[in-house]
Amino acid sequence: MNYRHIYHAGNFADVLKHAVLARLVRYMQNKDKAFRVLDTHAGIGLYDLSSEEAQKTGEWRDGIGRVLEAELVPQVAELLEPYLTAIRELNPEGGVRLYPGSPKLARMLFRPQDRLSAMELHPDDFQRLHRLFEGDHHARITELDGWLALGAHLPPKEKRGIVLVDPPFEEEGEYERLVDGLAKAWRRFPGGTYCLWYPIKKDAPIKQFHEALQALEIPKMLCAELTIKSDRGFTGLTGSGLIIVNPPFTLKDELHALLPALKDMLAQDRFASQRAFWLRGEH
């Protein structure tokens, strides 16, 4: 319960996660039918990067700060358009003082028929999230352990949805919980699109995690990873990964355009790398 995302908001991991989330939302909107975004570990929803906490780490400067200053080729600009447009709407005077967490970003991209269910267990963060969406009939905010939402809140009544699972990875066994949570959720809602975030750092069990996911035999699982520096002599976060279950058929090609550009923008040394590949399904 100690994790507070304000220290990390807008960092390179957020850039990858939110750029892909925005692509998923836009893809769902190719059909008129309503859908729901279920955000299991929602945080406070909106982050002030001028706050003492965000300034203390300054992680956003090497994340969204770099992206906003970069010269984007047309294809990459188009892929990042929904994500960056939301950020510019929040910061009409330029720069990036306010940064949207995933529930706020999704909500900003919605049409009138789309809906949000956001879970947050931390009492203070839940109150802030609740205030942010107070009076918004498109959003349902619940004080709940997000892992429980994967059973209790699926399938959504719209029968279409994106499930974002972005745990803080504070405790041992979170990779295993992610596998178990997906297995439980997919049994209840096999047609949903799932986006699971995980950290890449020294000695993280990524290979075992991928093998455990493959063993679930879910037909379509796409993996995207972005590493910004070497983990030699460094125990903190060096990379960020996403598992996308039932991805849009366009997403792999989009990632092949987007990930190299993000690597070039966000690299902190020559060991930065990126990859997008099928864990299961279309090779």
- Phi and psi, residue 63, nearest 5°: -120, -105
41 labeled binding residue: yes
Identify which of 175, 219, 223 has the alpha carbon closest to the alpha carbon of residue 199.
175
Contact by Cβ (8 Å): 247, 257: no
256 labeled binding residue: no
Catalytic residue status for 114: no
Residues 6+ apart with CB under 8 A from 41: 119, 120, 121, 146, 165, 166, 167, 168
Contact by Cβ (8 Å): 239, 205: no
Q: How far is CA 144 from the centre of its chain?
A: 19
120 labeled binding residue: yes
> Which one of 125, 166, 180, 203 is the catalytic residue?
166
Q: What is the CA radius of gyration of the chain?
A: 17
Ramachandran sector of residue 10 (left: φ over 0; alpha: ψ -120 to 50; beta: rest): left
Q: In the beta sheet, which residues pair with residue 115?
A: 36
Query: ω before 155 within 30° of 0 (cis)?
Result: yes
Residue 52, classed as helix, strand or coil, is helix
81 labeled binding residue: no
Q: How far is CA 87 from the centre of its chain?
A: 15
Of the CA atoms within 13 Å of residue 95, those in its CB half-sphere come to 7
Cα diameter, the chain:
50
102 labeled binding residue: yes
CA pair distance 265, 180, nearest whole angstrom: 34
114 labeled binding residue: no
Q: Token pair 């994340």 is at which residue?
A: 63
Residues of the binding site: 18, 41, 102, 120, 145-146, 166
Catalytic machinery residues = 166
Annotated binding site for S-adenosyl-L-methionine: 18, 41, 102, 120, 145-146, 166
